[in-house]
Structure 1
Amino acid sequence: MTPTTDSRSTPAVVIYSGGMDSYTVLHRARREGYAVHALSFHYGQRHARELDVARDVCRQADIPHKVVDIRAIHQLIGNSALTDSERAMPKADYAKDNLADTVVPNRNMILLSLAIGYAVNIAAPVCFYGAHGGDHVLYPDCRPAFVERMNDVAAIANFEPVRIEAPYLHKSKADILVEGLEMGLDYARTWTCYLGEERACGECGSCRERLNAFAALGMTDPLPYATP
């Protein structure tokens, strides 16, 4: 979405996980001219490799970046394969009946609430995050109704309203990839796998969706995979 005001000096918060979607959102916001402030969270996910990737990207691009440690909430939202290393990670394509175990309770509401607070603190009128159409089948906090309601709350929760932007809310992973490639982005500088091994597993839902996006464009993913 093109901002309605001159954004060249307008700050914006981007929730940046280090993954493919938020990496593209980060650069889209920069392309639109916002003064981007990247915000990452360690909430007790199984590994921190994606956060290391995020740090590296922001350091090299000279993007202000905060990594916030909120692992204390793990005791409240740890009932997920993404936060409990004792659970087996589902190995399948995204589907409601086989990947529900990867849902982290209320994650995006928690992260967006913190990001909105940060936006108010730095006088940023907008907060970006990378929900996309492929998430809708499984994750309620990536669906249009959620974004609409969060926007309603963000408009009244503080004296300064904040707008939530999810530019890929109705786009597929392949659509995101197309736009990122048009911007010249290098997706070797992202991490998508739910596991934090030396190579991406190629079997979890996140890897499969990513690989399918590259395959749809007739391309090979630049990340190395344990499973060809």
Structure 2
Amino acid sequence: MCDTLVVLSGGMDSAVLLADCINKAHRCAAISFDYGAKHNDCELAMATALCQLLKVPHTVVELPFINRLFSSTLLQSGEEVPDGAYDAETMQSTVVPFRNGIMLSIAAGYAESLGASRVVLASHSGDHFIYPDCRPEFNDAFSRAVRMGTDGKVAIEFPFARLDKRQIGDLGHTLGVDFTSTWTCYKGGEVHCGTCGACDERKYALRFDEGKDPTIYAR
């Protein structure tokens, strides 16, 4: 039995969230999604290995229709992921339409089937201005819908909604998270490219400028 279903991408934010939930003595299971992102294979390998290490039950759900039908540079069917800072102008093309809404709907149904009372997602304050399905208004509305749709059996929670990515990185360091076992780069190469907006944000979060980021970057 579990009480918390963690949406686990294999990225640093969700890895820290899983570690934080376990540290707070929650009984966790994890769910990941293969939706055709360029970096899905890299992320999912990390998510699987992390769950094996922590002995957390892990389910991967395939959503091939997203890559086939949706438009985003993040997807294998899209154009190249842009380089540059993690800001609205650079990252707008990486938005996958209603991605969190789709994934959270599946997670809510799965949580109810497992008997878990809550689903947690690691979206943070830095995501809000770029991704519409990460904003507080969306989170509040979706949480209410899930409450109604499950007769109050499942709550959707966003524990990092008020944190920025550096605060999440600092929490992960405190919890002993091995960040070399997480993936961020949107380009999905053999190592992190070091030049895309996601890598730029990872460097900030893990204090690359202070020598605390263990990630290997191509540049």
Query: What band does the TM-score fall into relative to the shorter chain?
Result: over 0.9
Greater RCO (CA < 8 Å, at least 6 residues apart): 2
- Matching residue's letter, 2:47: A
Q: Residue 159 of structure 1: CA displacement?
A: 3.0
1:71 is aligned to 2:64? yes
Residue 93, structure 1, aligned to residue 85, structure 2: yes
Which secondary structure state, in structure 1, belongs to the residue aligned with residue 115 of structure 2? coil
Aligned counterparts of 1:26 and 1:217: Cα–Cα separation in 2: 26
Distance 2:174 2:118 in 1: 24
| Counterparts in 2 of 1:24 and 1:86: CA distance versus 1, 3 Å | same
Aligned AA (1:218): E
Task: Give the drift of 1:98.
Answer: 2.3
Distance 1:118 1:20 in 2: 23
Count residues with an aligned counterpart. Answer: 218
TM-score by length of 1: 0.91
For the structure 1 residues 156 and 86, does the alpha-carbon distance in structure 2 shift closer, same or farther, using more than 3 Å as the test? closer
1:1-228 matches, within 5 Å, as 10-47=2-39, 48-77=41-70, 79-215=71-207, 218-227=210-219
Q: 8 Å contact 1:82–1:102 — kept in the other structure? A: yes
Whether the 8 Å contact between 1:131 and 1:166 is mirrored in structure 2 is yes
Return the offset for 1:99: 1.7
Asked if 2 retains the 8 angstrom alpha-carbon contact of 1:120 and 1:160, the reply is: no
Partner of 2:19, secondary structure, is: helix
Q: Percent identity?
A: 38
Runs of 4+ in 1 over 3 A off after TM superposition: none
Alpha-carbon shift at residue 196 of structure 1 (Å): 1.6
SS at match of 2:9: coil
Work out the CA distance in 2 between the residues paired with 1:42 and 1:87: 19
Distance in 1, matches of 2:160 and 2:102, equals 20
Alpha carbons 1:174, 1:216 under 8 Å: kept: no
TM superposition shift of 1:218: 2.1
CA-to-partner distance for each residue in 1:77-102, whole Å, 9 max, x for gaps?
2x101113551211111222222100
Query: How does the TM-score come out when normalised to structure 2?
Result: 0.94
What CA RMSD, in Å, does the superposition of the two structures yield over aligned residues? 1.5
The 2-side partners of 1:80 and 1:149 are apart by 24
Q: Deviations over 1:28-76 (max 9, x none)?
A: 1111211111000001111311001110111111110001111133223
SS in 2 for 1:14: strand
> Do the aligned residues in 1 keep the contact of 2:2 with 2:114 (CA within 8 Å)?
no
Which of 83-92 and 55-64 deviates more? 83-92
Contact between 1:141 and 1:147, CA under 8 Å: does it hold in 2? Answer: yes
Unaligned runs of 5+ in 1: 1-8
